[in-house]
Structure 1
Amino acid sequence: MYKYGVVRMDDLINDILGWQRFYPCGRLQKPVNIIMDSLDLENLNHINLRAATSAALLLLPSKFTEEDLYAKICSLSYMGDLRMLFAEDKNKVKKIVQGQFSLFHRMYNPFLEEYAAKDLLRLSSSGDAQVTVSQDCGSSAASKLVSSLPPPIRSQMGIKVGEKKILDELGRVKQEVVIGSKEEAAKCMQKLLRNKVMISSARQAVAGLLTVGVFGGA
């Protein structure tokens, strides 16, 4: 039972780092088995996983469980997916997370600890070993989460909600998205991702019809 695809390496890298189509990067936000890694893809994908963590946190409330976080991360690549309207199992995200919870934990726990060390999160364990997460929902914390999103996403958000010039640690001028509130940032980002997923899912649906036909080639 395998799924496979063919993609040019530069397209793969662009999607991992920039969420250009939000298709390969969405697949790599879920547990996968990398058989051969000539590009050091696993380390490169850490940027994608950190960005996915930030995106999910923007969409989550002030308090949630570890499973809620992984479900939100998993759902990013299904937002706006046309196939979810008629072809996919409505409980697909829940089944993916519950069936591979330990793998999601291994992938994303380092980022939870990183964000906790930056005082963006507070982690607490209950008796059932489920971690409860509390996050800062202020605009300053939201701005830090947005700063971890891929540059093209930040740029598109800046066009929608505005940008300002700031100096980075090296004294260089850079653009920063103006964050009025966490809710505003989340709504803007969600709309951008939904549009990307909708376009990619439409391409996949058309490709599927061309490959197997309307009736599955039966």
Structure 2
Amino acid sequence: MENHDKAQLLSFLKTLPPVEFCCVYGSFLHPNNPGSAKSTMVDCILGVSNPRQWHSENLTLNNDHYSSWMVLLGGARLITDVADELGVGVHFNPFVSWNDKMFKYGVVRMQDLVQDILNWERFYLSGRLQKPVHVLLDNLDIANVNSVNLRAAMSAALLLLPSKFTEEELYAKICSLSYMGDLRMLFAEDRNKVKKIVQGQFELFRLMYKPFIEEYETKELLRRCLSGNTRPIISQCTVQCFEA
């Protein structure tokens, strides 16, 4: 992320009540295709200790960020209850205009964020954090906690992959985990979405998962070998692999 973009996003955060965690994701941060224009929408996840209190304060500061019917019918209580009972624990305010940019920010309870990362309880935020994001604020070291999520995602992907695959196929399988069972992928979403995400953010995926690949190699669970391709082939080692 460019310093100018980071400074703007931090300035936007100052217009909201304090948060414990903030990450930016989506095509604004990492265009899916190299050279493509950045999206006009900035997507953020905000972690807060008490969502009801946070929304109550934000309604005073930024009432226009919310749907009018939610404000009229129940305010902060309704906003939080709908997110907890009907949603995935996250309330999103989309189409928030500020400083010539459009924002969409989702607010989640920090405890729920940690539980989803560690246990895949709802597999929404954990799935989001299995893909590249840019962390702007992290008071509770969520980036370190997320290593559990990344390791689990890689292990799940290996179970779904054949005995030999490329690095790109590994990242595509990891990326696809959060889209499995998502009906939007059958109708509304681009069916090449996963491929575009991985191709456009390949080096970022590599940076995230390289430590786990190297660890699995050390434990002789994976083996990388060069072939005629520009990128190595990864093999899942079995008993037969070591005896060969």
TM-score by structure 2 length? 0.55
AA aligned to 2:167 is: E
Taking the aligned partners of 2:237 and 2:228, their CA distance within structure 1 comes to: 24
1:133-180 Cα distance to aligned partner (Å, 9 max, x none)? 000357xxxxxxxxxxxxxxxxxxxxxxxxxxxxxxxxxxxxxxxxxx
Taking the aligned partners of 1:86 and 1:3, their CA distance within structure 2 comes to: 22
Q: Which shifted more, 124-133 or 84-93?
A: 124-133
Partner of 1:96: 197
Partner of 1:47: 148
TM-superposed CA distance for 1:125, in Å, is 3.3
Partner of 1:194: none
1:2 aligns with 2:103: no
Partner of 1:195: none
Query: Could you list the runs of 5+ residues in structure 2 that have no partner in the other structure?
Result: 1-40, 45-105, 240-244
Partner of 2:132: 31
TM-superposed CA distance for 1:128, in Å, is 5.0
Partner of 1:83: 184
1:24-80 Cα distance to aligned partner (Å, 9 max, x none)? 000000000000010101111011000000000000000000000000000000000
AA aligned to 2:233 is: T
Matches within 5 A, 1:1-218: 1-4=41-44, 5-126=106-227, 129-136=230-237
Contact 1:62 1:137 in 2 (8 A): no
For the residue of structure 1 that corresponds to 2:233, the secondary structure is strand
AA aligned to 1:82 is: L
TM-superposed CA distance for 1:127, in Å, is 5.9
For the residue of structure 1 that corresponds to 2:121, the secondary structure is coil
Report the structure, 1 or 2, having the larger strand content.
2
CA 1:92–1:134: 2 relative to 1, 3 Å: same
CA 1:121–1:11: 2 relative to 1, 3 Å: same
Query: Could you list the runs of 5+ residues in structure 1 that have no partner in the other structure?
Result: 139-218
1:106-133 Cα distance to aligned partner (Å, 9 max, x none)? 0001100101111111012346541210
AA aligned to 1:14 is: Q
TM-superposed CA distance for 1:3, in Å, is 1.4
Report the structure, 1 or 2, having the larger helix content.
1
For the residue of structure 2 that corresponds to 1:64, the secondary structure is strand
Using CA pairs below 8 Å that are at least 6 residues apart, which structure has the higher relative contact order? 1
Taking the aligned partners of 1:8 and 1:128, their CA distance within structure 2 comes to: 45
TM-superposed CA distance for 1:82, in Å, is 1.4
TM-superposed CA distance for 1:83, in Å, is 1.2
TM-score by structure 1 length? 0.61
Taking the aligned partners of 2:223 and 2:237, their CA distance within structure 1 comes to: 9
Cα RMSD (Å): 1.3
TM-superposed CA distance for 1:86, in Å, is 1.0
Give identity over the alignment, percent: 69
Contact 1:30 1:74 in 2 (8 A): yes
